[in-house]
C-alpha cells in the first residue's frame, strides 16, 4: 500500500491526467455498453430535407413518410412562415449577441410577446430560448421555502427539473389521480402559496389532464394552477388555445408555459404567459432569461407568422382532429393498443424495448419514419412507438402508415 501511494504521488501531472481520463473512459464505456445490452440505444437518423410529412433520410433512397415530428400543424415548412423568417433575418440580422436586458431586445420580441399574451388571453408573456428554459426559470423565481408545489408524477422532465431548482416544499401526486391531489392539497395547507403543476397533454401517453377537476380543487384549497401546454398549443380547443380552452377553464389557469418549437413554426423558443406582475418578476429573477441570448430574429419572425395564420383560420385544427381519429380507429381495429384519447400523439404500446426498436427499424424499411421509445424516456415495461399525426398528412399517408404497422406487427408477433 505504501509503495503504491508513493508511486501515485510521484506521477507527473500529465500522467495523472491521463490516468483520470482512462478511468473516465472505462466508466462511460461501461455505461454505454449497458445501454446497448438493454436494447435501449437511441440512434439519430439524419434528415437531408426540410421538415414535413415527407422527408429524405441519409442513406435511404426516395421519400419517407414522417410520423414522429411535433410538426402538428405542418407550419414548419409553410411558405409564409419561411418567408417571414427570411424577412426578419434580413431586417433584424442573424442574432443579438446578447441577453435581453443588456442589448438583446428588439421590437419583434416585444411584438411577439404581446401576440402570445393576446392569443392565450393573458396579461403578459416572456420569451425564452426553449420551453425547457421557461420551466427551469419559473419555479425558482416564484416559489420560496414558505411555498409548496404539487406535481403530477408523469410531468415532463423539464417541469421536474425546474421544480428541483426551487426551495419550495414538493408534493407529487399520482398521475391524473384527483383524490391523491386533494389529499396532497390538504397536507399543503400550511404553506403560503400552493401551486399545482401539470402538463396539459402528456407527451408520452397522449392523455389530457382533467383541468376542470384540478381547477375546482385548486379553488377549494386556495391554490394556483400552472399548465405546460407544449403538446396542446395550436391544435387543442376550438381555436387551438390549448387544453384550458378545450376544457373551458381559461379563466382559472394562472400560468401557462408553452413552446414555439412544435405547432407554432417548429423552430425553437418557449414562453411563460400569465399575470403581468409575475412576468415582470421573471424578467428580474429568472436565470435562463437573464443569462441566455435572446431568440434569433428569424425564429421570432417564423413564430409570429405561425400565430397569425392560426388566428386567421382554424380549419387546420379540424383537419388534424379528423386525421387523428382516422389513425386511432384503424390501428385499434387492426388489434393494436393506442394510449391516450383523441390526441395526435398516438403511442402504439408494445411493452418490450427491443421489439419497439426493431419494429421502428422495419417501419423505416417500408418508408415510414417512426421512433421506438423506451426506458428511461418511458417507464420500464412501457416501451412504445410514438406516432404523431400532422394536419399536412393526407388520408392516404395515414392509411399507408397503418398498413405498414400491420405488416411489421405480424412479422414480429405483435399481431396475430
**What does the alpha-carbon distance between residue 116 and residue 233 come to, in Å, rounded to a whole number?**
11
**What does the alpha-carbon distance between residue 383 and residue 368 come to, in Å, rounded to a whole number?**
19
Q: Exposed (0-12), middle (13-18) or buried (19+): which is 281, by Cβ within 10 Å?
A: middle
Identify the band that residue 40 occupies on the pLDDT scale cut at 50, 70 and 90: confident
CATH architecture type of domain 45-74+314-412: Alpha-Beta Complex (3.90)
Question: Which cell is 51 given?
Answer: 421538415
Instruction: Return the number of other C-beta atoms located less than 10 Å from residue 145's C-beta.
Output: 11
Angle in degrees, CA 147, 150, 154, rounded to 5: 150
Contact 279, 272 (CB under 8 A): yes
Mean pLDDT of all residues in 38-47: 82
**What does the alpha-carbon distance between residue 85 and residue 136 come to, in Å, rounded to a whole number?**
27
C-alpha dihedral sign at 308, 312, 317, 323:
negative
Mean pLDDT of all residues in 183-205: 97
pLDDT over 90 at 221, yes or no: yes
Active site residues: 203, 231, 262
pLDDT over 50 at 80, yes or no: yes
Among 296, 280, 274, smallest CA distance to 129 is for: 296
Position 2 scores a pLDDT of: 44
Q: Per-residue pLDDT tens for 298-342?
A: 999 999 999 999 999 888 898 999 999 999 999 999 999 999 989
**What does the alpha-carbon distance between residue 220 and residue 85 come to, in Å, rounded to a whole number?**
46
Q: Per-residue pLDDT tens for 233-276?
A: 999 999 999 999 999 999 999 999 999 999 999 999 999 999 99
Q: Per-residue pLDDT tens for 343-369?
A: 999 999 999 999 999 999 999 999 999
Identify the band that residue 1 occupies on the pLDDT scale cut at 50, 70 and 90: very low
| Domain coordinates in residue numbering, the chain | 45-74+314-412, 79-312
Identify the band that residue 416 occupies on the pLDDT scale cut at 50, 70 and 90: confident
Class of domain 79-312: alpha beta
Q: Per-residue pLDDT tens for 332-350?
A: 999 999 999 899 999 999 9
Position 11 scores a pLDDT of: 61
pLDDT over 90 at 211, yes or no: yes
pLDDT over 90 at 26, yes or no: yes
Mean pLDDT of all residues in 123-149: 98
Dmax of the chain from CA atoms? 79
Position 3 scores a pLDDT of: 46
pLDDT over 90 at 413, yes or no: yes
Position 10 scores a pLDDT of: 59
Contact 162, 288 (CB under 8 A): no
Q: pLDDT over 90 for what percent of the chain?
A: 86
Identify the band that residue 376 occupies on the pLDDT scale cut at 50, 70 and 90: confident
Contact 158, 128 (CB under 8 A): no
Contact 162, 317 (CB under 8 A): no
Position 8 scores a pLDDT of: 53
Contact 72, 263 (CB under 8 A): yes
pLDDT over 70 at 288, yes or no: yes
**What does the alpha-carbon distance between residue 68 and residue 84 come to, in Å, rounded to a whole number?**
26
Mean pLDDT of all residues in 82-103: 97
Q: Per-residue pLDDT tens for 6-22?
A: 445 556 777 776 788 89
- pTM: predicted TM-score of the whole model, two decimal places: 0.91
SS3 assignment, position 96 = coil
SS3 assignment, position 368 = strand
Cis peptide before 376 (omega within 30 of 0): yes
- Positions of E strands within 159-214: 169-173, 194-199
Q: Do the two domains 45-74+314-412 and 79-312 of this chain adopt the same fold?
A: no
Amino acid at each position: 500500500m505504501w509503495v503504491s501511494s508513493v508511486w501515485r504521488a510521484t506521477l507527473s501531472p500529465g500522467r495523472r491526467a491521463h490516468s483520470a481520463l482512462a478511468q473516465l473512459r472505462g466508466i462511460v464505456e461501461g455505461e454505454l455498453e449497458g445501454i446497448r445490452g438493454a436494447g435501449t440505444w437511441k440512434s439519430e437518423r439524419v434528415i437531408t430535407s426540410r421538415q414535413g410529412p415527407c422527408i429524405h433520410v441519409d442513406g435511404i433512397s426516395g421519400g419517407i413518410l414522417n410520423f414522429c415530428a411535433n410538426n402538428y400543424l405542418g407550419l414548419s415548412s409553410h411558405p409564409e412562415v419561411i418567408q417571414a423568417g427570411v424577412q426578419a433575418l434580413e431586417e433584424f440580422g442573424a442574432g443579438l449577441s446578447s441577453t435581453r436586458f443588456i442589448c438583446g431586445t428588439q421590437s419583434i420580441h416585444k411584438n411577439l410577446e404581446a401576440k402570445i399574451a393576446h392569443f392565450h388571453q393573458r396579461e403578459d408573456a416572456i420569451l425564452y430560448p426553449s420551453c425547457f428554459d421557461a420551466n427551469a426559470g419559473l419555479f425558482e423565481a416564484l416559489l420560496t421555502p414558505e411555498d409548496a408545489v404539487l406535481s403530477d408524477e408523469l410531468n415532463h422532465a423539464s417541469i421536474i427539473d425546474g421544480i428541483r431548482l426551487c426551495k419550495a416544499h414538493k408534493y407529487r401526486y399520482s398521475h391524473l389521480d384527483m383524490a391523491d391531489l386533494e389529499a396532497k392539497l390538504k397536507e399543503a395547507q400550511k404553506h403560503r402559496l400552493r401551486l399545482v403543476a401539470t402538463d396539459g397533454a402528456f407527451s408520452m401517453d397522449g392523455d389530457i389532464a382533467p383541468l376542470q377537476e384540478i381547477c375546482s380543487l385548486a379553488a377549494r384549497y386556495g391554490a394556483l394552477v400552472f399548465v405546460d401546454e407544449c403538446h396542446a398549443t395550436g391544435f387543442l380547443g376550438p381555436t387551438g388555445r390549448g387544453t384550458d380552452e378545450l376544457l373551458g377553464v381559461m379563466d382559472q389557469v394562472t400560468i401557462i408555459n408553452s413552446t414555439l418549437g412544435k405547432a407554432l413554426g417548429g423552430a425553437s423558443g418557449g414562453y411563460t404567459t400569465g399575470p403581468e406582475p409575475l412576468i415582470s418578476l421573471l424578467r428580474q429573477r429568472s436565470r435562463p432569461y437573464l443569462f441566455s441570448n435572446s431568440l434569433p430574429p428569424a425564429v421570432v419572425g417564423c413564430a409570429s407568422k405561425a400565430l397569425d395564420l392560426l388566428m386567421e383560420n382554424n380549419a387546420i385544427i379540424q383537419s388534424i382532429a379528423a386525421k387523428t381519429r382516422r389513425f386511432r380507429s384503424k390501428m385499434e381495429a387492426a388489434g393494436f393498443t393506442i394510449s391516450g384519447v383523441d390526441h395526435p400523439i398516438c403511442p402504439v404500446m408494445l411493452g418490450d424495448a427491443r421489439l419497439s426498436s426493431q419494429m421502428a427499424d422495419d417501419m423505416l424499411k417500408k418508408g415510414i419514419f417512426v421512433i421506438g421509445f423506451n426506458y428511461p424516456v418511458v417507464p420500464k415495461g412501457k416501451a412504445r412507438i410514438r406516432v404523431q399525426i400532422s394536419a399536412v398528412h393526407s388520408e392516404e399517408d395515414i392509411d399507408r402508415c397503418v398498413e405498414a404497422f400491420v405488416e411489421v406487427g405480424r412479422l414480429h408477433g405483435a399481431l396475430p
